[in-house]
Amino acid sequence: MRSWRRAASVVLALSALALALTNQSATADPGHNRFSFAVIGDIPYGDAQIADFPNVIGQINADRDVQVVAHIGDIKDGSTVCSDDYFQMVKSDFDMFEDPLVYTVGDNEWTDCHRANNGGYDPLERLAAIRKVFFPKADHTLGRNSVKVTSQADQGYPENVRYTRADVAFAALHIVGSNNSMAPWTGNTSATPEQAAEVLGRTAAVVQEIRDTFADARRTNNKAVVLLTQADMFDPTVTDATFADYYAFQPIVRAIAEESAKFRGPVYLFNGDSHVYKSDKPLDTGSKWRSFYGVDTVVPNLSRVTIDGSTNVGNWLKVTIDPGSKQVLSWTRVPFTHAK
């Protein structure tokens, strides 16, 4: 009888230990569960969207599936003033997100601010202002429930961040339109030395971030990689694209191609910039962009998703991760409840 009781006690103790370990694992590493995140960008544009933006935030907050929000840049349209007051207003809106918010900088809020109708600013001064307002705490997201991420703040690029959720590696990359900021500023026929130096430094940091993200994904056997950026480096709305208008993207595209080709799972690139929803494979067989950028490798596992944006946008993108599925990611466009 005593022997039976001892055996029963051992079984009960082991069962309790197994349950405790299971609960601890679920708490410490929720990575293998289904997970949803929201993607928005190129918003708010104009007075109507500015007024309605808190409603958009409220709608995303109300979706209990969503655990992270990504804003992939362009927090204003390209023909309005890049003022400190405007930046502070959008930051106040961003602070309303209940979930962690990862913000990827767009060109409209700094690169294009040299334009007279943007206020005629020095773009580099505006970039410094953006970093001060929107990245006040290194290695942390925005949003009410801020979480820690890995950033390049020590290199001067706090906006470049990476993190892992649901067995998927994420990287937010500061890549902007206007040829990644190499398009000449007002009064110039070519990039200034200061402008070129900024682009070279930031591009090197982005390429490093891409390589580090994939290295971590391979090391930890992640199921997929997600890249978030503003610039549309494969803009289908431009029928006569010339390399002179896109050359500053080439090192980045080549790095994405090389790393994606070495990765065994799917890779997803989410971008804004061109404003019209599209899902395609920009570096697969038959794509013009391979020869355009001088990419020799075929990259069938790279999918690109352009989200809707600008004045006609009426939805946000809900992306769901299922680590057990072959594609890992699926998504749907969710109409704004209060779209104007």
Model pLDDT, residue 338: 61
Contacts with 5 (C-beta within 8 Å, 6 or more apart), sequence order: none
| H helices present in the chain, as ranges | 2-28, 46-62, 84-94, 123-134, 177-181, 193-219, 250-262, 288-293
> Residue 219 — pLDDT band, cuts 50, 70, 90?
very high
Residues shown for the chain: 340
- Which run of H or of E encompasses 318? strand 315-321
- Enter the tokens of residue 142: 């925005």
223 secondary structure, DSSP code: S
Kindly report, residue by residue over 247-276, the tens digit of the pLDDT.
999 999 999 999 999 999 999 999 999 999
Compute the mean pLDDT over every residue in the chain, rounded to the nearest whole number.
91
Give domain limits for the chain.
Answer: 1-30, 33-335
Residue type, 31: G
Q: Is the pLDDT of residue 22 over 60?
A: no
Q: Is the pLDDT of residue 13 over 50?
A: no
Task: Give the dihedral sign, CA 146/131/186/237.
Answer: negative
Transcribe 96-164 into DSSP letters.
T-SS-EEE---STTTTTTTSGGGT---HHHHHHHHHHHH--STTB-BSTT--B-EEEGGGTEEEEEEEE
Q: Is the pLDDT of residue 244 over 80?
A: yes
CATH number for the segment(s) 33-335: 3.60.21
- What is the mean pLDDT of the segment spanning 207-235? 98
Query: What distance in Å separates the CA atoms of residue 44 and residue 49, rounded to the nearest whole number?
Result: 5
Task: Give the dihedral sign, CA 146/42/151/255.
Answer: positive
- Enter the tokens of residue 235: 């803009």
> Are the beta carbons of 165 and 68 closer than 8 angstroms?
yes
Kindly report, residue by residue over 152-168, the tens digit of the pLDDT.
999 999 999 999 999 99
Model pLDDT, residue 34: 81
Q: Is the pLDDT of residue 65 over 90?
A: yes
